[in-house]
Structure formats: C-alpha cells, structure tokens
C-alpha cells in the first residue's frame, strides 16, 4: 500500500512516492515527451528528504548511529532540511553546516524544524547565490571540525551509500513503474551525484539502453572534462566543479550536457507559468537539458527528469520577478 492509501505514523513515511507528470505544454511543439518527477512534494520540499531517511535508517540498522547521538552534515539546505525532519522525529540533535551563499529561507526552515544551523562565510570575491567548490571546501572543513568536537555521526552525502540507495531503491523504480517502463533517457543536474547514480543504476538494470546524461553548469562542466572557467554559477544545489564524486559510476554515464544560468532560470519560470509547477533553478536546468535532447539527438523519445526542489526556496532570490 503506498502512502496515499494508508495512515502514516510520521512525516518520515510521507517521503517518496511523488507524482510523475508529463510536461505536455512545454513540449507541445516538440517531437517527444518529458516526464517530470515532482520531488518538491516531499515533506521538506525536495528530493533530499529521501536520502536523509535512507542515510539515517542505514546507520541505525548497522549501529553506526547510536540513540540520541548528534548528527552533522554539510548542506546547500535541502539535505539539511530532510535531516532536520528525520532527525527531529527520531530524536537525534542535528547540526546543519551551510554556506552563507545559499538562500536564507533554507536556514530559517531548518531552524524552524529544530536544527542548529551554522553558516560559513564565502571566500573573498564569492557572491551570495553563487556557491563555488572553494566555498564548499570551507563548509567541509567546518563540518569536520564540528563532527570531531561533538563526536557526531556525519551524514556524509558525498560518500555514504544511503545517498545512492535512496534513488536506486525508490526514485528510479518509482519512475519505471509510473511510466510503465516507457522512458528512453534520463538527464540530471549533479551535486553529489547520488540522484544520478541511483536512478541510472536502476534504469540500466531494467534496460541498459536507457541513455543517462549528466547535466552541468556552463563554465563548470568539469565532469565532461572542461576547465572550470566560471565556477560561480546560479544553479544552487550542485555544479561544484568537483571531478571526484565517489557515488558516480562511469559505466552508467552516456553523455554530458551543459546548461547556462539564463536557460535554467527561463525554464524554471516557464515551468511555473505554463505547467503550474513551482520549482527551483536545478529543476529548470534539468528540463532545459531534456528539451535540448528532444531537439537534437533524441527526437521523438521520452526523457525523465527530477524536479528537485520547490520554487518557494528561492523567494528571496531574483528567480521570481
């Protein structure tokens, strides 16, 4: 029985089983379909609730996390929100470490959910709203310091398999079920790479010919082998210009796509106006990349994308005019 059909014992049980929607208006003049997974309908308004639940429950199951132990993680806000929900319900104090460059509604939301939020200043020259790999390195150092000081469990989203497993066990199979196995491609804007890796593994296991593309910001397409000429892009939640993403499996990557800030922003606005879907920058990037595929190499095909988080998380930015 899925969560719509039963009484849930807590908000944790409401994570996942999100709807899959065909973006029929955005693709009206194109040959092909885009199927969008509405991840912003999770309780913390992002796909990262899934990995928060998986990482914590995996660590509970094998004893790495003890009752009442503090949990710490570096976050651009979404993983932290998921962890705030899961840890709050399960009784683990949670410390979220975030760059000051991320939008502030995220910090306020985590605090409202009971988390302690530590904000880390950006590098000199970095701009608010543009978190670079260098900014993230400072957040990493602070996260390590706090984890050691408090003997905390590090919910390490860049390394722990729970990040992969959440999407391999749930997001990917849900898309396959909801589409009747009818997808031919998948493209995903990468932060830790957990969503891409988990979904791609599930898709390839079902049908190895489902083509899986990594989406990166123009100017920071390092996974595609380009130099990071403009690492301070606007697409929050990923594109950190990090070449070493341990969760990615090279054999599942069929290609790389680039999206400019302006294209991601324009597509997020079109999603809102034309499809009634209020999502963030990276969701816009995913749809822009999918449209590019339908216009070029994948005419007539069906492409799946994740709509990673809610547009409400960016009300303080100029995403919305």
Q: Which of 42, 195, 232, 310 binds ligand PLP (CB under 6 A)?
A: 195
Structure tokens that stand for 277 in this block: 């879907």
Q: Is 48 a catalytic residue?
A: yes
Three-class secondary structure of residue 268 per DSSP = helix
- Which residue is associated with the tokens 């409400």? 312
Binding mask 150-189 for ligand PLP (x = CB under 6 A): ---------------------------------------x
Nearest to 85 by CA among 58, 65, 108, 113: 113
Nearer Cβ to ligand PLP (70/78): 78
Three-class secondary structure of residue 157 per DSSP = coil
Pairing mode, if any, of strands 153-154 and 71-74?
parallel
Confirm or reject binding of residue 101 to ligand PLP (CB under 6 A). Answer: no
Q: Which of 190, 220, 294, 303 binds ligand PLP (CB under 6 A)?
A: 190
Q: Which of 15, 26, 45, 48 binds ligand PLP (CB under 6 A)?
A: 48
Of 17-25, 61-69, 117-125, 191-199: span binding ligand PLP (CB under 6 A)? 191-199
Number of residues that this document lists for the chain: 321
Q: Which of 44, 237, 284, 311 binds ligand PLP (CB under 6 A)?
A: 237
Number of residues that bind ligand PLP (CB under 6 A): 20
List CB contacts of 7: < 8 A, sequence separation 6 or more.
none
Q: Is 9 a catalytic residue?
A: no
Long-range contacts of 241-247 (CB under 8 A, 24+ apart): 241/132, 241/133, 242/133, 242/136, 245/158, 245/190, 245/192, 245/193, 246/158, 246/159, 247/158, 247/159, 247/161, 247/163, 247/164, 247/192, 247/193, 247/194, 247/197, 247/198
Confirm or reject binding of residue 27 to ligand PLP (CB under 6 A). Answer: no
State how far the Cα of 311 lies from the Cα of 308, in Å rounded to an integer.
10
Q: Which of 16, 44, 191, 219 binds ligand PLP (CB under 6 A)?
A: 191
Q: Which of 192, 232, 302, 310 binds ligand PLP (CB under 6 A)?
A: 192
Question: In the complex, what is the shortest distance from the CB of residue 209 to ligand PLP, in angstroms, rounded to a whole number?
Answer: 23
Question: Which residues of the chain form contacts with ligand PLP (CB under 6 A)?
Answer: 46, 48, 76, 78-79, 189-196, 236-238, 280, 282, 308-309
Which sequence positions are flagged as catalytic?
A: 48, 282
């Amino acid at each position: 029985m899925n969560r719509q059909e039963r009484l849930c014992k807590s908000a944790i049980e409401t994570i996942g089983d999100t709807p899959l929607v065909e973006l029929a208006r955005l693709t009206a003049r194109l040959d092909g379909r885009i199927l969008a997974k509405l991840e912003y309908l999770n309780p913390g308004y992002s796909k990262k609730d899934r990995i928060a639940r998986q990482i914590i429950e995996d660590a509970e199951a094998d004893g790495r996390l003890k009752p009442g132990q503090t949990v710490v993680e570096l976050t651009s806000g979404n993983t932290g929100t998921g962890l705030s929900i899961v840890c709050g319900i399960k009784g683990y104090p949670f410390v979220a470490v975030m760059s000051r460059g991320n939008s502030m509604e995220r910090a306020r939301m985590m605090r409202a959910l009971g988390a302690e939020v530590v904000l880390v200043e950006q590098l000199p020259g970095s701009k608010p709203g543009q978190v670079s790999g260098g900014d993230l390195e400072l957040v990493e150092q602070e996260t390590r310091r706090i984890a050691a000081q408090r003997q905390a469990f590090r919910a390490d989203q860049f390394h722990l398999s729970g990040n992969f497993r959440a999407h391999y066990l749930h997001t990917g199979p849900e898309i396959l079920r909801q589409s009747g196995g009818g997808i031919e491609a998948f493209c995903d804007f990468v932060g830790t790479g957990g969503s891409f890796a988990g979904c791609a593994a599930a898709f390839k296991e079902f049908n190895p010919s489902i083509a899986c593309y990594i989406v990166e910001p123009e100017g920071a397409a390092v996974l595609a082998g380009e130099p990071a000429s403009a690492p301070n892009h606007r697409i929050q939640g990923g594109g950190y210009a990090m070449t070493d993403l341990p969760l990615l499996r090279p054999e599942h990557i069929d290609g790389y796509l680039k999206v400019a800030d302006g294209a991601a922003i324009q597509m997020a606005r079109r999603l809102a106006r034309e499809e009634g879907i209020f999502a963030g920058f990276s969701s816009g990037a995913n749809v822009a990349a999918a449209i590019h595929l339908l216009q070029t190499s994948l005419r007539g095909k069906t492409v799946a994308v994740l709509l990673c988080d809610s547009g409400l998380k960016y009300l303080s930015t100029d995403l919305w005019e």
